Structure 1
Amino acid sequence: MDSKRRTLMLASGGAVASAFLGLERLWAANATGGLAAMDFGALRTDPGGILDLPAGFSYRVIARAGDEMSDGLLVPGMADGMAAFADPSGHVRLVCNHELDPGRTGQSGGPFGKSHHRFEAIHRERAYDAGGAEPACGGTTTLLYNPRSGVTERQWLSLTGTERNCAGGPTPWGSWLSCEESTAVVDDRHAKDHGYVFEVPSSVDELVAAVPLKAMGRFNHEAAAVAPRSGVVYLSEDRPDGLLYRFVPAQRGQLAAGGRLQALALQDRHGADTRNWSSSPHPFPAGVTHAAYWIDLDDVTSPDDSLRQRGHADGAALFARGEGLWWGNDALYFACTSGGARQAGQVFRYRPSPHEGTSRERQAPGHIELFVESNDPHALANCDNLTVAPWGDLLLCEDTDGHCGLVGVRPDGSLYRFADNPYNGSELAGACFAPDGQTLFVNQQATGLTLAISGPFPGH
């Protein structure tokens, strides 16, 4: 790892408000020295053959692809990004993406069963795309988890008719933004174009009407993160030559009311290449901050999927497969899965302007820096989803060949393995904490399992 990585400076009040009610006090305690850096120790072999964890930690399987849900549909496969929200009962509502193409059936498939015979049980008009011969099977499920009993009490389909819902992000007003990693167009399998963001309120107990937020752009979306104070939404793009986008809403918290879509650029480098590949014209060292500005984009529904090329031509910076995004500690963290000289992954940090999204931000611009670049795939390989832990560390989900795990990044930049899956090669996805910080949820995608991990987390 690069020895020049700068220390993560923790600050109180950096929580995503609705998704992490209660975590503010833990971040604040860490910022004032209330929580020390944690060494979880060596991982223990799991006799169940699912996930290795440090001593004192255990998991429960709380959802399994193919099982019947409360609404009579099946738990879809390919669980990916997710977030946890507080329920007034003290339970946790977990909204989870499912990265599915049309036509998925079977245990690792969609919610409608073989021949999609259960599709007729839903309100068809609430599906975004009922498809051609087969419905689009991507979307989200929501489950109600009882942390006291460790039992999932209900689970239901909450968004459907979308495609390859990979990641997304929670909002401060209590919803989940589900992002399509697709730019499919109308053909014999699709009745509508895809590549949009959809909003799913966490409080709704049934399938919501799928409304594409077209002003947020049509591209190969990956994740979303909202800055609580400004309401600005940041968006990543899973392309080798992707951009980092932001959406400045016309009305804070009312994303369907429209707004401006922009791409990040660096004041000191027109069209900067941050990837550090051998083909990159200039090195992009870790620990060096760069003043940013944002380029307005037009024709954001982009029928030809050209947003990134047009943005880069205007000066926007390139990123290597932007994936996980998470807001915490008054900053945005995002992962680039294939960035770095070894193409083993990078993590960037963006600190916004105090006037983010307004005409005054040029006076005090936001700044971006490369925080982590992996030069050792054994230590960190191809980080994907990520979250900010209650004690201030980052937790990164690996998506690579071989063993995939959860890798922690301490405030000093050092790494540790919190979990490992040496059993089936499945990536881990969707890591997020319950609002009280006492349960960590994660998906084991290929096996169709959602796990709830408990143990001696800092501040427990």
Structure 2
Amino acid sequence: MTFSRRKFFAVAGTTAVGTLMVSPMEGLLSRQAFGRKLGKGYGPLVPDPNGLLDLPAGFKYRTFSLTGELMNDGTKVPGGHDGMAAFPGPRNTVILVRNHELSPTSETQVQGPNPYDPFCKGGTTNLVVGSNRQLIKHFTSLSGTYRNCAGGLTPWGSWISCEENTSTPTSFPLGDRNYVSKFHGYNFEVPASTTTAVKPEPLIAMGRFNHEAVAVDPKTGIVYETEDRGDSLFYRFIPKERGKLEKGGTLQALKFKDIFQAQTFADFPKRKPMKVEWVTITEPNPPEDTVRVEGFAKGAAQFARGEGIWYGDGEFYFCCTSGGALGLGQVWRYIPAKETIELFVESTSAAELENPDNIVVSPYGDLILCEDGDDQQFLVGVTPKGELYQFARNAINDSEFAGACFSPDGKTLFVNIQTPGITFAIWGPWTSHRG
């Protein structure tokens, strides 16, 4: 993931960049050069003259909030840009809450006045973006947490930031670079409206495990949670009081109604809805990383590295990054009104889809998947019929895409390249692929 100092300053000077129109032959050549199959979508990707982000013709982008830049609170933008969500702000602004997936050994850190654990470097930053897609301000909003990978937005205007690590003070001896002073593996809530760093409060009842992402059912207030492990479970948290996650609730894990301890890694039929039920986790905050062990013992289904999840139109879509016969990824669809789950997409080749991570349901009917594979990284679109297409390519290096989310008006797609840490705003001729 090399990134030269010279290119960094080129990115820092980038404002809006328009992609060029290409001939059919040029489009064919570009596809061959990328070595990836192109399905339906917005057309072939056009090589970016700035060498940052290849997009279909007609789309533009702007970059901001790069690692190392000085923020409005006097701290520097940390690295590890990851999960993110967009909220409506005052005076036609957009507020982004952005995770930073940083460990105690990371070279950069989220700096705040009241860290949860002073030995940890992860957390979140808030960004205020104007109607012209220009950055107005950015600042630390959560600090002292461990590997904030993804999370999810809530209907009440907050971001749930998830720790993807379950270290404890006894995991490493004092003095080890990985030492922590508190238990980790929790969710933390960050209001989009905050103007300063929040006081971190772990949402203990939501479980202590390798959290990845969450999504909230706006009809019920139930929170669905993914877990990034090879033998992960799919959870739901039923709060005692809607919108008040800190007041506790019940944690449960999904079980296939007719399959005890289902293992969904491979050999599941696509587009076949299967009935589910839920088993209750009696120890959501165990001293060891055993939440998934308890759930599986009760018959819950295992998934291959549950990662990004997003809600849209009564349905939840979540990625299993290493799922499928080839280990290249799956996308599952859960419909709470029917209590069914089905395998929606499974990659059949790296040219088609390679290890999807974060996910967003677009306002235009498609899913946008952020790849986290071993080579070239793409944003991959999925139509309502399950057809795959490339929407963007990281032209900088082989670092993952993360944090894809749309502005409240649906006109701008925000996304991160994790390393060296860049946030993009993308806009252009969006079209509906419904029907």
Distance 2:184 2:68 in 1: 25
Counterpart mapping for 1:180-329 below 5 A: 180-186=163-169, 187=172, 188=174, 189-276=179-266, 283-329=267-313
2:339 corresponds to 1:366:
yes
> Any conservation in 2 of the 1:329–1:392 contact (CA below 8 Å)?
no
Runs of 4+ residues deviating >2 angstroms: none
Instruction: Check whether the contact 1:402–1:422 (CA below 8 A) recurs between aligned residues.
Output: no
2:155 aligns with: 172
Preserved contact between residue 326 and residue 332 of structure 1 (Cα < 8 Å): yes
SS in 2 for 1:182: coil
Deviation at 1:88, TM superposition (A): 2.1
Q: Does residue 421 in structure 1 map to residue 400 in structure 2?
A: no
- Deviation of 1:447 after TM superposition, in Å, equals 1.9
Aligned to 2:138: 155
2:403 corresponds, among 415, 419, 430, to 430
Distance in 2 between residues matched to 1:396 and 1:418, nearest whole Å: 10
Task: Determine whether 1:75 maps to 2:58.
Answer: no
Alpha-carbon deviations, 1:180-221, whole Å to 9, x = none? 000011142211010000000000110000000000000000
- 1:408 aligns to what? 381
1:370-410 deviations in whole A, cap 9, x for unaligned? 00001111110000000001111000000001111100011
Amino acid across the alignment from 1:406:
L
CA drift at 1:137: 1.0
Separation of aligned partners in 2, 1:386 and 1:104: 25
SS of the equivalent of 2:334 reads strand
Indicate the SS of the match to 1:89: helix
1:103 deviates by 4.1
Find out whether 1:40 has 2:24 as its counterpart. no
Write the letter of the residue equivalent to 1:382. N
Residues 400 and 38 of structure 1: CA distance in aligned 2, closer, same or farther (over 3 Å) = closer
CA–CA distance in structure 1, aligned partners of residues 397 and 234 of structure 2: 32
CA contact (8 A) 2:41 2:381 kept: no
In structure 1, distance between residues paired with 2:294 and 2:144:
29
Q: Does the CA-based 8 Å contact 2:414-2:424 persist in structure 1?
A: yes
Partners of 1:274 and 1:285 lie apart in 2 by 10
Are the aligned partners of 1:92 and 1:146 in contact in 2 as well (CA < 8 Å)?
Answer: yes
Identity of paired residues, percent?
A: 52
Residue type of the alignment partner of 2:96: L
- Any conservation in 2 of the 1:38–1:458 contact (CA below 8 Å)? no
RMSD over aligned CA atoms reads: 1.3
3-state DSSP class of the match of 1:102?
coil
Counterpart in the other structure of 2:118? 130
Query: Within 1, Cα distance between the matches of 2:70 and 2:344?
Result: 43
Q: Give the partner amino acid of 2:292.
A: R
Aligned to 2:412, which of 426, 439, 451? 439
Q: Deviations over 1:230-279 (max 9, x none)?
A: 00000000000000000000001010010000000011101111110xxx
Q: Deviations over 1:65-104 (max 9, x none)?
A: 0111000001010010000000121000000000001143
Q: Distance in 1 between matches of 2:276 and 2:61?
A: 42
Partner of 1:342: 326
Structure with the bigger RCO (C-alpha within 8 Å, sep 6+) is: 1
User: Secondary structure of the residue that 1:315 maps to in structure 2?
Assistant: coil
The CA deviation at 1:39 is 3.2
Q: Which runs of 5+ in 2 are unaligned?
A: 1-38
Q: Aligned with 2:90: secondary structure?
A: coil
Distance in structure 1 (CA, Å) of the matches to 2:194 and 2:91? 14
Residue 329 (structure 1) shift: 1.8
- With structure 1 as the length reference, what TM-score do the two structures score? 0.83
Q: 1:52 corresponds to which residue?
A: 54
Q: How much has 1:38 moved relative to structure 2?
A: 7.4
Match of 2:92 among 90, 93, 96: 90
Structure 1: runs of 5 or more not aligned: 1-36, 113-121, 277-282, 354-364
Deviations 1:151-203 (A, max 9, x none): 11110000001010000000000000000000011142211010000000000
SS in 1 for 2:92: coil
Whole-angstrom CA distance in 2 between matches of 1:343 and 1:422: 25
Q: Distance in 2 between matches of 1:263 and 1:39?
A: 35
Q: Deviations over 1:26-62 (max 9, x none)?
A: xxxxxxxxxxx97311000011111100001111112
Q: Distance in 2 between matches of 1:71 and 1:422?
A: 31
- Whether the aligned pair in 2 keeps the contact of 1:219 and 1:302 (CA below 8 Å) is no
Q: Could you report, residue by residue, the CA deviation over 1:290-326 in whole angstroms, capped at 9, with x for unpaired residues?
A: 1110000011112110111111111000000000000
Number of positions where the alignment pairs a residue of Structure 1 with one of Structure 2? 387
